[in-house]
Amino acid sequence: GDRMMSLHGPSPVTTFGPKACMLQNPHAVMHIQDPASQRLTWNKPPKSVLVIKKIQDASLLQPFKELCVFLTEQKNMIVYVESKVLADPAIAGDESFGAVIQKFCTFREDLDDISNRVDFIICLGGDGTLLYASSLFQESVPPVMAFHLGSLGFLTPFKFDTYQSQVTQIIEGNTAIILRSRLRVRVVKESREKKGIIMTNGDSEGSRKSMQYQVLNEVVVDRGPSSYLSNVDLFLDGHLITTVQGDGVIVSTPTGSTAYAVAAGASMIHPNVPAIMITPICPHSLSFRPIVVPAGVELKIMLSRDARNTAWVSFDGRKRQEICHGDSITITTSCFPVPSICFRDPVNDWFESLSQCLHWNVRKKQNYLSSEEEEF
């Protein structure tokens, strides 16, 4: 309905009994955007769309061409496509498609910033395309509509057969969206080039390198090629929670809960739940169970002082890099979620994806026993 929704569902009261009330905290770290039942609206009609296609997948060629013709010719949209998608001979060499290609705006992932030029995004082919779309937008992300072609994914609710009416509905702006929270990850590396040399300006910060990433599924810290268990210290809001000794640790969003985390024993958490999940991978201490913490906290991961070897980290499976003594990984909820467009609504879509992707809760029913039935 139209209830005002807050972080935890309906706005909670802030008075408790006759005398107690919540202290209004002016130092709220961050207002996590409300993930509850929201609908998409446009303040101006959308004009440009980024089409993301899994490359080297022949089954997507026909749908891709059809969609692009529909968008450019019937909807008069400006279509953005990545240069490497058009490098495919099956697209470049198609004369009948040449006129449409002429109208495309192309870009290269590492070079061109399209973050302010794209009104919405259409993904064709698998959950990986949505993770890829997320990686292209390090700040505000345009709404994403994802089609599953072939295999149904957790993040791709749309079937392609009815794409024209579905896309039309979105351009007209009547559709449910779910805000998928992302993690903001900062990796700070100690400089190892000039050990023991004092910087001329005496600035120790100058010797450190800091990188930032926005992550939709998970941050994975693992032991890399080493045969020793990894030893990393895990801090929550500055306090040491535990040392993770094992194959590693997964820090995931609820969206990522159905990916690597669930395989490592985590719960599946609906994307509307504001949370960060910490899941050990084959922990040496069997009492370290997967834990779920509130979305606002700050996690920090560092190599333990007595670790025998380094660790490795990757973000949604990309940008894998080594973590050495003195380096740190800081993780918190990002203020830039991915707005994914729902086929029906956030809850229906999610349970549908569970049953399709995991055959969740499907089992052979026991036979009904009738009193005459004696054979076992």
What is the per-residue pLDDT for 303?
Answer: 97
Encode 147-182: b = buried (16+ Cβ within 10 Å), e = exposed: bbbeebbbbbbbebeebeebbeebbeeebbbbbbbb
Could you tell me the fold of the domain covering 183-191+209-335?
Tumour Suppressor Smad4 (2.60.200)
Q: Which of 88, 119, 127, 327 is catalytic?
A: 127
Q: Tell me, what amino acid is at 182?
A: R
For the chain, the domains span 40-173, 183-191+209-335
Decide if 127 is catalytic: yes
CATH class of 40-173: alpha beta
Low-confidence ranges of the chain (pLDDT < 70): 1-12, 25-37, 193-206, 363-364, 371-376
The letter for the amino acid at 215 is V
Residue 129: phi and psi, rounded to 5, are: -70, -30
What's the Cα-to-Cα distance from 13 to each of 6, 19, 21, 22, rounded to whole Å?
11, 13, 9, 9
Q: Give the pLDDT of residue 3.
A: 44
Q: What is the pLDDT of residue 116?
A: 87
Q: Looking at residue 99, what is its pLDDT? A: 87
Residue 227: per-residue pLDDT: 93
DSSP string, 292-346: EEETT--EEEEE-TT-SS-EEEEETTEEEEEE-TT-EEEEEE-S--EEEEPSS-H
- The Cα–Cα gap between 183 and 298 comes to 10
